[in-house]
Amino acid sequence: MIGVYPGSFDPLTLGHYDIVERANKIFAELYVVIMHNNEKNTFFSIDERVDMARNSLKDFKKVKVESYSGLMVDYFKLKQADYIVRGLRAVSDFEYELQMALMNRSLDCSVETLFLMTSQKFIFLSSSTVKDIAGYRGDVSKFVSPYVLEKITEKIDKLGK
């Protein structure tokens, strides 16, 4: 089976990593796809996000990291995927995720979304929290890979924060 795990990954956190680790056990091939979304003002560029995800996930031999600007359902068809993978944390994720899953299915009825629950320790972890804490020079080493930590620190230094 082929899975695609889409998201902003701005940046990839250990919560995302946890979902990849779970999905890696299910799929023969897994594409982590960094979506280019014009609506979202991201902290890292698409190339930076791809680089951080590739580096953090390099030990997963079946996992490929790509970027895509377009509709998720088109990417899904392009890869002849079986499932879209999404992570669920608290109940608060549910409404948005349900809306996306049903919207994707209404665009193409062959699209199924598979939800995987995060580990309890990552339940309150999001890319935004990591950026907020790092912006105030707080310690985020428990939440991201060493490579992402290095890149966040570099970026914040460059911005002179």
Distance, CA of 62 to CA of 60 (rounded, Å): 6
- In whole angstroms, the minimum distance from the beta carbon of 7 to ligand ADP comes to 3
Question: Does 131 sit near ligand ADP (CB under 6 A)?
Answer: no
Q: Are 81 and 31 in contact (CB under 8 A)?
A: yes
Q: Which of the ranges 21-29, 47-55, 123-131, 153-161 carries the binding residues for ligand ADP, by CB under 6 A?
A: 123-131
- 161 annotated active-site: no
Q: Which two tokens stand for residue 39?
A: 């609506």
Distance, CA of 33 to CA of 53 (rounded, Å): 10
Per-residue binding string, ligand ADP, 88-117, x by CB under 6 A, is -x---x------------------------
β partners of residue 115: 86
- In whole angstroms, the minimum distance from the beta carbon of 124 to ligand ADP comes to 8
- Count of residues in the chain: 161
Q: Are 155 and 10 in contact (CB under 8 A)?
A: no
- 40 annotated active-site: yes
Q: Which two tokens stand for residue 19?
A: 């979902």
- 45 annotated active-site: no
- Interhelix angle 146-158/46-56, nearest 10 degrees: 150
- In whole angstroms, the minimum distance from the beta carbon of 134 to ligand ADP comes to 16
Under the rule (CB under 6 A), what is the footprint of ligand ADP? 7-9, 13, 15-16, 18-19, 86-87, 89, 93, 118, 122, 125-127
Which residues are the active-site residues? 16, 40, 89, 127
